[in-house]
Amino acid sequence: MKWIGGASNQDLAAIEDLAGLFSLAGVHCLDLATDPAVVAAARRGIAWAESRGAARPWVMVSLSDGSDPHFRKAWFDPARCPLDCPRPCERVCPALAIPALGLNPIAISKISQAHAGVASGVLEDRCYGCGRCLPACPLGLIEERDQLLSAAAVPPLLAALRPDAIELHTQIGRSGAFAARLAQVRAAGIPLRRLAVSCGLAVAGAPPAAGSGEGSAREHAAASPERLTDELWDRFAQVRAAGFAPLWQLDGRPMSGDVGAGTARAAVGLLRRVAGRLPPGPVQLAGGTNDRTLPLVETLERSARGMVAGVAFGSVARARLQGLLLRAQKRGGRLLDQADLLPEACGLAGDLVAPWLKRTRSSSERA
């Protein structure tokens, strides 16, 4: 069970709260941006949960071997927005990263500069790159900007953060770029419990698929399942040669778990299409996973079902707690410290996680 904070999410207050709540709920791993402030915030949340008897989850940080929807942020110049725009961008943003209606563009620009040092209509630290605002703007003013670490930055950063595990996002066609990132990970010289490889059917450099983008991250032209498994075998050889143990994160539909049942079907459907051809290692479902995922997993054929070692929840976890996070932030404190809100918050996190923990316990008992 993994809680995904987000590879480009730097909303420290929310990360601390959610890390604490999902650690207490029993997740085994927290997946975070490779950012010292983010990891420190998550570790404060973990300490809060440990003080209440929770087991310490792994800290995993995410890297990418190239341009990837998980490693981007939206950007637009608010001075170009018409004053009478009904602001659909603001309405579709699940992270409330586009400031509220009622502020004129100059005021928004000032807030952005004060908040993140960048003159943008988007609050950069809150944006986690889901992409929903990009097609929402009728004038096409919103662009995506990559947030990738340089090769030189990776080894010292990882050595300082000392995560338990790393997730390396890759895409079909990026074997060489993956090898380069893996060499940087090795150069950090840190022991890792697992090196997770996150990959879906998107092809590196391919344009967005026609008509994509409605209500979720944009989807890119997709490869065949056979091509995906060929690429995973290539990554398997690389990961093993580097001395790491792999974990396969099948990325059904990135950052869309709060959108609906279709996204859960995409995540489970990807496994159905590649089951039987995957390289050795545990499989974790991600990208579109939500509370409908487990019932869908139970409909898989027995062999495919048995391959699902776990699940990762990102957008859906955040969406569940968003209202309570905001209420706490308006009071100027952590949700973790709000005695009147905490029972509901713990219940919402626990309800998402509990069915999967039960499944894990049942599997262990059978083994």
Q: What is residue 71's DSSP assignment? A: G
Rg, Å, the chain Cα set: 20
- Contact between 76 and ligand SF4 by CB under 6 A: the answer reads yes
Options 15, 54, 59, 93; binder of ligand SF4; rule CB under 6 A: 93
Site membership for ligand SF4, residue 122 (CB under 6 A): yes
Q: Which of 95, 203, 311, 321 binds ligand SF4 (CB under 6 A)?
A: 95
Question: How big, in percent rounded to 5, are the helix, strand and coil portions of the chain?
Answer: 45, 15, 40
Is 128 a binding residue for ligand SF4 by CB under 6 A? The answer is yes
Residue with tokens 């039987």: 276
Stretch that binds ligand SF4, among 94-102, 206-214, 238-246, 297-305 (CB under 6 A): 94-102
Tokens 């586009």 found at: 98
Closest contact distance (angstroms) between CB of 214 and ligand SF4 is 13
User: Is residue 7 a contact point for ligand SF4 (CB under 6 A)?
Assistant: no
Q: Which of 2, 132, 181, 320 lies at the binding interface for ligand SF4 (CB under 6 A)? A: 132
CB of 263 to ligand SF4, least distance (A): 15
**Could you say which residues in the range 46-75 bind ligand SF4, by CB under 6 A?**
74
239: left (phi over 0), alpha (psi -120 to 50) or beta: alpha
Single out the segment in contact with ligand SF4 by CB under 6 A; choices: 48-56, 129-137, 271-279, 298-306: 129-137
E runs forming strands in the chain: 2-4, 29-33, 58-64, 72-75, 143-146, 165-169, 194-199, 246-251, 283-286, 308-313
Interface residue with ligand SF4, options 15, 133, 275, 317 (CB under 6 A): 133
Question: Does 129 contact ligand SF4 by CB under 6 A?
Answer: yes
Among 81, 283, 286, 349, the residue binding ligand SF4 under the rule CB under 6 A is 81
According to CB under 6 A, which one of 38, 41, 141, 311 is a site residue for ligand SF4?
A: 141
Q: Which is nearer to ligand SF4, 111 or 187 (CB)?
A: 111
Work out whether 137 is an interface residue with ligand SF4 (CB under 6 A).
Answer: yes
- Cα separation, 352 vs 59, whole angstroms: 20
- Largest CA-CA distance found in the chain, in angstroms, rounded: 63
Stretch that binds ligand SF4, among 121-129, 159-167, 280-288, 331-339 (CB under 6 A): 121-129
Does the protein bind ligand SF4 through residue 97 (CB under 6 A)?
yes
158 neighbors 188 (Cβ within 8 angstroms): yes
Q: How far is the CB of 11 from ligand SF4 (least distance, A)?
A: 10
Closest CA to 337 of 48, 42, 95: 48
Residue 259 engages ligand SF4 in binding (rule: CB under 6 A): no
146: tokens are: 């990559």
Residue placing its CB nearer to ligand SF4 in the complex, 246 or 314:
314
Count CB-CB contacts under 10 A for residue 301.
10
Phi-psi category of 173—alpha, beta or left, where left has phi over 0 and alpha has psi -120 to 50?
Answer: left
Instruction: Tell me the C-alpha distance between 333 and 278, whole Å.
Output: 46
Q: Which is nearer to ligand SF4, 15 or 223 (CB)?
A: 15
The whole-angstrom separation of Cα 19 and Cα 330 is 19
Distance CA 171, CA 169 (A): 7
Residue 29 lies near ligand SF4 (rule: CB under 6 A): no
Q: Supply φ then ψ for residue 247, to 5 degrees.
A: -135, 130
131 binds ligand SF4 (CB under 6 A): yes
Binding site for ligand SF4 (CB under 6 A): 74, 76, 81, 85, 87-89, 92-93, 95, 97-98, 121-122, 127-133, 137, 139, 141-142
